[in-house]
Amino acid sequence: MKEGFEDSYIVEGKMALPYSYFAGRVGSTFLTTLRDKKKIMGVKCNTCNKVFVPPRQTCERCMEDIRDNWVELKNTGTVTNFTVVRYEDKHMPKKVPYVLAMIHLDGADTPMTHIIEGVKPEKVKIGMRVEAVFADEDTNTIMNIDHFKPVTEKIEVRERADAGGTGAKTYTGEQPETKKGGKPAMSKKVIITAALSGAATMKNQIDSVPYEPKEFAEEAARCYKAGASMVHIHAREENGMPTHDVARIKATHDAIKEKTPELIVNLSSAVGMGKTPEQRITQILEIKPEMASLNTNTMNFSIVDRKTGKIFIDFIFENTFTMLQDFGKGMEENGIKPEVEVYDMGGLDNWKIVAKQGIFSKPYNFNFVWGVAGGMAFRPDLFMVLKNALPEDANYTTCGVGLDEFPAINMSCLSGGHMRVGLEDNIKLPNGELAKGSFELVEWATRICEILGKEIATPDEAREIMGIKK
């Protein structure tokens, strides 16, 4: 007892009273299915189409009786929120520290609360995939699910047809003479590029964005399997920051080439925010990839809130005429084919001015970039204006940031160009779900080819089209 209170008595009290809560018929079905079938059931409101779990007899928003509308849910789900419980108390269901999470089960619309085990608390992330582990002993409560554990999902790639998969076909016929060499004509072959990382897409947004050389190699291989013939990369440090470190970039480049020798690796000469011109070009000239990006104009390249217009990070992406000239020369002299990045018509005109020096070898390869905050938003008519302004002997591909990705690549494929997708530009599938990786975006790009009756180019065919001398 604290000094000075020796004469103050404490009357100890303890009340232990029984309580028994009736689950009701609806709740009982949920519990018995959990117990007997190891299945998690929800109920669906046919008015608002929401699936509730744990189930309820009434949709309280629509006031509909939904007790019979049972829906079987998957035992897997996504963490939508979590906290780490670190203090110990008698009522705790598990030994601390443990992770208490909101889990959005696959097939449900409401998250349920449960515990995550089998992973260190610091490794738990929002968006993490988890699956239910059922209790050995029956409790007739929600604890019949003992906990959730991380899912190690098997990644399946929809592989290209010539490799035995169900994916897009590779072109096997002879390329007509008039369409060789990158004429802006209706090529039968479509080159799909996967931009694996970019400088700004981070693991807290999507786990499959690669940081490590090994991760780049694995993701590149999956993209190749799905139909990509080129990967565009910005190498990253261990902590995810974009790097100009030659050794790290070379390790990343080489890891990709080692695992998938067929692939064309296209290195970024932008690298990331705040890099000097020397840092940007030196790595390319030293590593000598088959292709590298070449940027055409100084522009705003900012991070903004698209809904509110609020500016988060303001940045000027510097690409002077001198840089365009020097980088271009350096690449051509080292047998590196430039991919000319066109953010607007001015950029294309800049290139045309510098090209008068006779720096660039034919065929030329352009990439129309849409949706950068500081560049153009995608518009089909604008796309055609750019396409029609291209010089003779030019190929074009396109990429779009976020929602611009799929409309832009559709337009490109339709009009005779090529397509670039990947987590650098966009992390979501056309249906709004998070992509499992760049490879899944490649799968969707190949579907565009199938719909338009086109076939995808092999890396060698891509080299032939783009004029890359291997």
Among 2, 3, 6, 15, binds another protein (CB under 8 A): 15
Among 5, 22, 87, 312, binds another protein (CB under 8 A): 22
DSSP 406-459: HHHHHHHHHHT--EEESTTT--B-TTSPBPSSHHHHHHHHHHHHHHTT-EEPPH
Using CB under 8 A, which residues numbered 167 to 186 contact another protein? none
Q: How far is the CB of 438 from another protein (least distance, A)?
A: 41
Could you tell me if 351 and 323 are in contact, meaning their C-beta atoms sit under 8 angstroms apart? no
Which residue's CB is nearer to another protein, number 1 or number 16? 16
Q: How far is the CB of 19 from another protein (least distance, A)?
A: 5
Q: Which residues of 13-37 are buried (b: 16+ CB within 10 A; e: fewer)?
A: eeeeeeeeeebeebbebbbebbbee
Is residue 13 a contact residue for another protein (CB under 8 A)?
Answer: yes
Q: How far is the CB of 28 from another protein (least distance, A)?
A: 9
Q: How far is the CB of 272 from another protein (least distance, A)?
A: 45
Q: Between vectors from CA 181 to CA 412 and to CA 262, what angle results, nearest 5°?
A: 80
Is residue 102 a contact residue for another protein (CB under 8 A)?
Answer: no
Which residue's CB is nearer to another protein, number 18 or number 453? 18
Q: Which residues of 275-299 are buried (b: 16+ CB within 10 A; e: fewer)?
A: beeeebbebbbebebbbbbbbbbbb
Is residue 91 a contact residue for another protein (CB under 8 A)?
Answer: no
Stretch that binds another protein, among 16-24, 119-127, 273-281, 310-318 (CB under 8 A): 16-24
Among 19, 166, 238, 431, binds another protein (CB under 8 A): 19
Could you tell me if 52 and 59 are in contact, meaning their C-beta atoms sit under 8 angstroms apart? yes
Using CB under 8 A, which residues numbered 241 to 300 contact another protein? none
Token output for 282: 């030196």
Q: How far is the CB of 46 from another protein (least distance, A)?
A: 17
Q: What is the x/- site pattern for another protein, positions 55-74, by CB under 8 A? A: -xxx-xx-x-----------
Q: How far is the CB of 83 from another protein (least distance, A)?
A: 19
Stretch that binds another protein, among 54-62, 78-86, 234-242, 456-464 (CB under 8 A): 54-62
Using CB under 8 A, which residues numbered 23 to 42 contact another protein? 23-27
**With contacts defined by CB under 8 A, how many residues of the chain interact with another protein?**
20
- C-alpha–C-alpha distance, residues 45 and 294, integer Å: 54
Token output for 132: 């239910």
Which residue's CB is nearer to another protein, number 90 or number 154? 90
Q: How far is the CB of 70 from another protein (least distance, A)?
A: 16
- C-alpha–C-alpha distance, residues 260 and 92, integer Å: 50
Is residue 18 a contact residue for another protein (CB under 8 A)?
Answer: yes
Is residue 5 a contact residue for another protein (CB under 8 A)?
Answer: no
Which residue's CB is nearer to another protein, number 1 or number 17? 17
Per DSSP, helices labelled H in 242-379 are 246-259, 277-287, 321-333, 345-355
Could you tell me if 401 and 422 are in contact, meaning their C-beta atoms sit under 8 angstroms apart? no
Sign, CA torsion 87/91/92/94: positive
Tokens 């055409």, residue located = 296
- C-alpha–C-alpha distance, residues 468 and 470, integer Å: 6
Is residue 1 a contact residue for another protein (CB under 8 A)?
Answer: no
Could you tell me if 128 and 122 are in contact, meaning their C-beta atoms sit under 8 angstroms apart? no
Could you tell me if 230 and 457 are in contact, meaning their C-beta atoms sit under 8 angstroms apart? no
In the complex, which residues of this chain contact another protein (CB under 8 A)?
A: 11, 13, 15, 17-27, 56-58, 60-61, 63
